[in-house]
Structure 1
Amino acid sequence: MKLVVQVKLIPDAAQARALERTLHTVNEGANQVSAASFAVYGLKGSVRDLRSMAYGELKARGLGAQAAQHVIKRVVDAYSTLRANIRVGNLGGEGSRRRRKAESKPIVFRPDAAHTYDDRCLSWNHDARTVSIWTMDGRLKNVRFAGSAAALKQLTQYRKGESDLVRRDGKWFLVATCEVPEAPRYEPRDWLGVDRGITNLATTSDGHNHSGRRLDRYRRWQARKKSEIQAKKTRSAAQLLKKRARRESRHATHTNHTISKTVVAVAQRTERGIALELLQGIGGRVTVRRDQRARQSSWPFHQLGAFIAYKARRAGVPFIEVDPAYTSQRCPRCGHTERGNRPARDHFRCRRCGLAGPADVVAGVNVRDRARSAWVFVTMPPPVPT
């Protein structure tokens, strides 16, 4: 399975200037290629088309052969992503304002947008923790990098493929692709159902609850600070808002990593599989109170599920997603399903048999029960042809 590992570069002043000039130059070249491609091919230029059109000009700018190839490929990939978003309706229907805006002008790359390096342009010295990297000022050698012990171990053992040079908040990073082997998957003894929510971020069928109160307080504090900064209406205020938004996103990502790590560890220790609700399209299916709308739209439910899925695969823990319909309204003992079974957000009480308990735990139990049935069909051998 593919994972990415991020390490922090620690360049000196001269090396930082060379890296900055390199990013600005390659992104200026990408903008030039994008404009030329849009003028001739619209949104449909191919690598072959752009190579014959722009390779010589990029070389004339001083880019190396591999750097020019990567710039061309980045432009083609950006237009491919735009076409895919238009095709699936992410930019609205035909004639919508967002779609017209996207289709009417070429894609523009930021001056500090990430640039891709392969092993011809970037080499790693893991023992000395340095890299040798191509720049517009020549090859920079002995550029130091640092990272966590786990990240450096992954990088040393499993790095494979390309890496991206990233500048964020004045700091430099290399994001490397690693091909990490998956552990053999065992046959689960049972299942651990996980219900995801807004107030309680994750609740398991065992009754363990990962509350979102602390995170909610942090986000409310951030919202107050944002409103104070927005009132200033200055350019520096806008930059500070972006910085705070990235900080809040990193905080949410860290929380999701912590929850997913705990859930996978419990399942692995007890030799159970993990079952989640398939929450695709939750925004259109679920109606929440006014005071929870912002949290529902901004909380990364999908990210938490993705973290649990990849950590489970890496640990060899079976993973499955089940139908989420009525998991919070169905009684796991008698099967009776109705809205009245959940008189309040936090409480469940079956109107037929009287079973009562925390609503999120009941939902987790229903997810677990559905996983037991679904796993039989997932692992069923294919029919023998007659």
Structure 2
Amino acid sequence: MKLYNTDYVITEIKDETKIKLFAENEYYDKVQIAYFDFYFMEGWVMDLKGNKKEVKRHSTIMNFLFKQNLNLGWDSRLVEQAKQNAKQIKSDEAKRYKEQLKEKDEQKASDMINGIKNYEARYTNICKSVENKTDEELYHLVVNTFKHASKRTINEVLNIIKSYNDGSVAYLQNEVTEVDPVIKMDAEATETITMNDNDTPEVFHLNNNTFNTYNEAFNHAVQNQITTTKILSSKHSTMTNERLKQLEHSYIFDKVNMLHEDKKDYFDYLESIPNSLDKENRYYKLKSWIERYEAQQQRQQEEKDRIHNLGLEASKTLKYMVENGLEIKENESYVKYYLNGQDVHTWFSGISADKYHEGIMKIYNSYFKKSSDKEVV
């Protein structure tokens, strides 16, 4: 027996980006046969025997249904609406992410410029570390780091560094620019090494290479167009080089199917390393995915709890009614309830928990509630 027919599919939209597909069984009860989330690009479809198959593309669902019935009727407008909603949400998130990047870079720039003007050692050491670079090398270093910065900001960063090294910083106008994470990392790495007095010296791994300082590893990554998040300190408390390679590979080549635990491990690692453009790009994407996934899991758990509570209430109510005269007769595809020989309700296999609960409570409210002075327990 087919669980549902494929003459027409009812489409419903939920939470903006999710669609649910329903069909009717031979008793005209609505049965959910598919689900898809266009934000996470995941869902499932149920065959005619009730077996569910997970899918990563909405077209897989439709191809399956069209195989059952080439003349299948369905509402494509809601599907398109869910697609557009997901696209808009992702677009809005990308805009917010770029704004956050710019705000952080501007603040770093302000800190650096003010630090140099106030002759703070942290920032004057940065200037000294790039003193021998040519104008072109310094320009590329800054531009490569501040991909989201304005030209004005980049010029101000260059001018403040060169002016300090030329001995003319005191004559600069009080302008605010942006800090260079590449250069800023040099200072942070120096501080870290200074504070490290363990017997084993700290080194930094990058793919199969090892460097004595973070600065060396970072510059090597920039020059060879290697993602800077691959730089791993030998002193890191939780991450190993092999584990980081595995997480990097999963993120780059299969981020959609990346396990939630792996996403969390990678996110925690990114939180622990120095700031860079590569880090921030991945950090905010992972943050958004993790928050959405956990919110989705919470909603699913709440729905499971709701269904469970409905089942408990229906079971207790049914037990009370059976003890007070209700008879149950089961068939292969349906169940009938009798009271004093009268057929009072019928439900068919495949109905939802809500429909089942609704039917049980309807019997109780119609035939038992008036004669009962206490609640069902």
When the two structures are superposed, what TM-score results if normalisation uses the length of structure 1?
0.20
Higher relative contact order (CA 8 A, sep 6+): 1
Q: Which structure has greater strand proportion?
A: 1
When the two structures are superposed, what TM-score results if normalisation uses the length of structure 2?
0.20
